[in-house]
A and B are shown apart, each in its own frame.
Chain A
């Protein structure tokens, strides 16, 4: 059953997006109905596939499309890592869909639905594809959907959208060249088949380097990050949530899969590149954190926080490099961090959207009194911040713990220091936000704030639900981490 449904996770939302595109734009309710129905069905299908992964022998569900096995055909394969990503995407996807269905300017109007459903389909594809070129096509689909969604933002959002498109396409071209180099040597496009057919040498080293830079640009890894703090805040609130929580992860997943499959064959060169990734990641953690501390607009703070978190995720490559137990801890910690960050960041951007809608601005000064008028939204911000900082009792804590364990186990103290420093900075900017919103509304010399505009209750409740999910999942974190670690790709051992 789950094998039957796996391709449907991609083709279902894709077809629904196409259908939504045909519905006239004036029929926004119909588009929203298509979107919500798709969200419900997708969640159901995801549950079945995740269940299938959990119960299947070897914890994987595999489908050879069109009946052709590699090297000729394309294989979709869901493993424990895919399952974790599918759970995250379902939670965020349903939350975003509900938010936009309640009030469609959170998504930038009815044009949101076809683009979002297409993007959702492409994300699912990225999580499960085993084929390099297929991953390239899926990433382009992600890019087209994400860029178009950014352009739906109010004001002058076309500029940031175009800048994002440029960076993403350059990243894709570098990745495509990497694919060509792997194909030149291995003669196949299937990742696991290629792994056995490559040897250390300039081709493989170049392929790894090109993928690191290409995906680094797409996921805004320092120093290729400067587009993100512009593009993410320019988008409509729900889109910002999707971009930070999910779209950035698509490039990351491709990088990790490529690395796990091919880096072990590259020998010392892969190690050097992994260290480069770690240096960039540490710089991102510090730079993003410091910049977040300096911002005065809520959406900007959250966007810089994403730069920081991408830095953590880049640390996973060097942490995995020594292999063995440490590599498995790094792999499972990294995946848990992806889930934790996704939930927290979606909660924060959706909460920021509610506050912006209520107060007409996301300047910290304009949000004074929000603590009293919108306590649940502020609570969501707080809980999400705690999870981002990696404090107990949240999923973020469980994830960071695994990464720290991996660093300590393999004696890589540098990365441990970066992890801890990043946590402190996160506590810092979360505190800045909380202090600003808890200031009394009539503080200072300015006139008292007008009471906030009304926002649908459902929309205000969604961010809190996501933040709470990050806490609830932490209870299961031990089991999840164990499962993911046990089913870590063979290349890590």
Chain B
């Protein structure tokens, strides 16, 4: 076996092992901690699969923002005694799982080892698409409707989580000094990193979603450190949350009214349009994810 395939096998085993640990640990804390580790291992797997964009996103979202959300759930409630599923259910579940896995393993052996139609199509059309980096071109031009709707999913998830908060936001508690100190260092670093990912995204891996996750991280840190602006669920915060979707729809409607067709970007200004939409989207995603975090935090802090 070559060193490369040893690495592949070890990596595959690691992913499976961490996934098993994450679902098997009976305590919440253990499960969440193992899930954070899964995010790290997955980021490595994505890197190994030639997908640096996804490695970035996994590091930022999968183990970053989602990790912070899950961890915050743990600090909110003391661990609860876990009820267990009945023995019959476990046996049936395991059997069904084994059968499903065997069937799927047979199925995926039939996957043809040849590329799909799309990489060639992307390579052919990427000039004038507004971004030299293929993944960004797909997200912001070829399949821009998906990206718009995905931003909308975030907007409405934030609205839904926000609707669960039925109490006004409480004044922040006193913050421990180490947290404030850490936040002072971390905040500018996160914003800088996010901006870099945003600007880099048109020509190399990176883009609105990774940058947005960094901005969300910055806002979460600010919120945790007691900054009032980050705790707000007011009109301005909600306006920023929806700004990305509205900017995207405005672009779509604008191109339609100009007679080019919905979301059709003219190669002459496609680059500018892509960067503008990405910038608004990144800020919007950042605020939106942070709003989900704040809503979660407030859903717990109901005054007694």
Q: How many Å lie between the Cα of A119 and that of B112 in the bound state?
A: 38
Contact at A133–B146, with CB atoms within 8 Å? yes
Query: How many residues of B are in contact with the other chain, CB < 8 A?
Result: 51
With A14-B152, A74-B143, A141-B149 given, can you name 17 additional A-B contacts, CB distance below 8 Å?
Answer: A11-B249, A11-B253, A19-B242, A21-B155, A24-B235, A65-B144, A65-B261, A66-B142, A66-B261, A66-B264, A67-B263, A68-B141, A111-B159, A115-B160, A134-B145, A137-B149, A187-B115
A-B contact pairs, 22 of them (CB 8 A): A7-B262, A14-B249, A22-B239, A64-B261, A65-B263, A66-B141, A66-B264, A67-B261, A73-B142, A114-B159, A118-B156, A134-B143, A134-B146, A144-B156, A148-B157, A181-B111, A184-B111, A184-B116, A188-B116, A203-B111, A206-B103, A206-B104
Residues of A within 8 A of B72 (CB): none
Closest A residue to B157 by beta carbon equals A144
B163 interfacial by beta-carbon distance below 8 Å: yes
Closest to B234 in A: A24
A63 within 8 A of B: yes
Which residues 240-266 of B sit at the A interface, judged by CB distance below 8 A? 241-242, 245-246, 249, 252-253, 256, 260-265
**A205 to B143, alpha carbons, bound, how many Å?**
27
Kindly state whether residue A4 has any CB partner on chain B within 8 Å.
Answer: yes
Docked-complex contact B249 and A66, CB < 8 angstroms: no
Cβ contacts under 8 Å, A74 to chain B = 143, 145-146
Tell me whether A158 is interfacial, beta carbon within 8 Å: yes
Among residues of B, the one whose C-beta sits closest to the C-beta of A108 is B163
Contacts of B261 in A (CB 8 A): 63-67
Q: A66 touching B156 by the CB < 8 A rule?
A: no
Chain A hits for B107, CB < 8 A = 181, 202-203, 205-206
| Closest residue of A by beta carbon distance from B249 | A15
Q: How far is the CA of A15 from the CA of B118 in the complex (A)?
A: 30
Contacts A19-B246, A185-B112 given; does A134 touch B149 at CB 8 Å: yes
B150, CB-defined interface residue at 8 Å: yes
B242 & A18 in contact (Cβ 8 Å cutoff): yes
**Contact present for B121 and A125 (CB under 8 Å):** no
CB distance from B285 to the nearest CB of A (A): 14
A11 — nearest CB in chain B belongs to which residue?
Answer: B249
Does A138 sit at the interface, judged by CB under 8 A?
Answer: yes
B94 proximal to A (CB < 8 A): no
Is the CB–CB distance between B104 and A72 below 8 Å? no
| Contact surface of B with A, Cβ cutoff 8 Å | 103-104, 106-107, 110-112, 115-118, 121-122, 125, 141-146, 148-150, 152-153, 155-157, 159-164, 235, 238-239, 241-242, 245-246, 249, 252-253, 256, 260-265
C-alpha gap A113/B66 in the complex (Å): 27
Report the separation of the CA atoms of residues A152 and B164 in the bound assembly, to the nearest whole angstrom: 8
Q: Are B142 and A68 in contact (CB under 8 A)?
A: yes
Chain B positions within 8 Å of A229 at CB level: none
A409 in the interface (beta carbon within 8 A): no
Q: A residues within 8 A CB of B241? A: 21
Q: Nearest Cβ distance between residue B139 and chain A, in whole angstroms?
A: 11
Contact between A185 and B164, CB atoms less than 8 A apart: no
Is A145 interfacial (CB 8 A cutoff)? yes
A63 to B246, CA, bound (A): 21
Query: How many angstroms between the C-alpha atoms of A206 and B111 in the bound complex?
Result: 12
Query: Which of B117, B144, B149 gathers most chain A CB within 10 Å?
Result: B149
Interface centre among B116, B163, B264 (most CB of A within 10 A): B163
Is the C-beta of A183 less than 8 angstroms from some C-beta in chain B? yes
CA distance in complex: A121, B155 (Å): 13
Which residues of chain B have C-beta atoms less than 8 A from A148's C-beta? 156-157, 159-161, 163
A461 to B159, CA, bound (A): 31
B153–A187 touching, CB < 8 Å: no
| A214 vs B239: C-alpha distance when bound (angstroms) | 35
Beta-carbon contact of A14 and B245 below 8 Å: yes
Nearest chain B CB to A460 CB, angstrom units: 27
> In whole Å, how far is B259's beta carbon from the nearest beta carbon of chain A?
9
Segment 285-310 of A: residues with Cβ below 8 Å from B: none
Tell me which of B118, B141, B242, B246 contacts A71 (CB under 8 A).
Answer: B118
Sorting the interface of chain A by its residue count into under 10, 10 to 19, 20 to 34 or 35 or more gives 35 or more
Distance to closest chain A CB from B261 (angstroms): 5
Q: How far is the CA of A11 from the CA of B118 in the complex (A)?
A: 26
Describe A's contact surface by its main secondary structure. Answer: helix
Q: Is A140 an interface residue (CB 8 A)?
A: yes
Which residues of chain B are within 8 angstroms of A114 by Cβ–Cβ distance?
156, 159
Complex Cα distance A49/B160, Å? Answer: 31
User: How many angstroms from the CA of A134 to the CA of B164 in the assembled complex?
Assistant: 28
Q: What 3 A-B pairs have minimum CB-CB distances, sorted nearest first?
A: A148-B160, A187-B116, A111-B163
> Hey, which chain B residues are within 8 Å of A187, CB to CB?
115-118
Q: Are B157 and A72 in contact (CB under 8 A)?
A: no
Chain A 116-140: CB-based contact to B (< 8 A → 1; otherwise 0): 0011011001000000011001101
Chain B residue nearest to A3 in the complex (CB): B261
Query: Shortest beta-carbon distance, B8 to chain A, in Å?
Result: 20
Q: Is the CB of B118 within 8 A of A202?
A: no
Query: A342 at the A/B interface (Cβ < 8 Å)?
Result: no
Interface positions, chain A 7-32, Cβ under 8 Å from B, are 7-8, 11, 14-15, 17-19, 21-22, 24
Docked-complex contact B155 and A7, CB < 8 angstroms: no
The 8 Å CB contact of B159, one of A4, A15, A21, A133, is A21
Given contacts A125-B149, A206-B103, contact A11 B252 (CB under 8 A): yes
A185 to B262: give the CA distance in the assembly, Å. 30
A66 to B270, CA, bound (A): 11
A115 to B163 Cα, complex, angstroms: 10
Closest-by-CB residue of A relative to B140 is A66
Q: Does A81 contact B (CB under 8 A)?
A: no
Partner of A15, one of B161, B245, B262: B245
- Known contacts A66-B144, A183-B116: does B156 contact A145 (CB below 8 Å)? yes
Please state if A115 and B159 are interface contacts (CB–CB under 8 Å). Answer: yes
Contacts of A205 in B (CB 8 A): 107
CB atoms of B153 and A144 under 8 A apart? yes
- Given the contacts A14-B152, A14-B249, A206-B104, A184 and B112 also touching, CB distance less than 8 Å: yes
Query: Which residues of chain A from 138 to 164 have any CB-CB distance to chain B below 8 Å in the complex?
Result: 138, 140-141, 144-145, 147-148, 151-152, 158
Q: Is B256 touching A137 in the complex (CB atoms < 8 A)?
A: no
Chain B, Cβ-Cβ closest to A207: B107
- Contacting residues, chain A, for B117 (C-beta < 8 A): 71, 187-188
Q: Which residue of B is nearest A71, CB measured?
A: B117
Q: Considering the complex, give the chain A residue whose CB is closest to the CB of B150.
A: A137
Instruction: Tell me which of B142, B155, B235, B252 contacts A18 (CB under 8 A).
Output: B155
Q: Which residues of A contact B144 (CB under 8 A)?
A: 65-66
1/0 per residue, CB under 8 A from B, across A170-198: the answer is: 00000000000101111110000000000
Question: A201 near B: Cβ within 8 Å?
Answer: yes
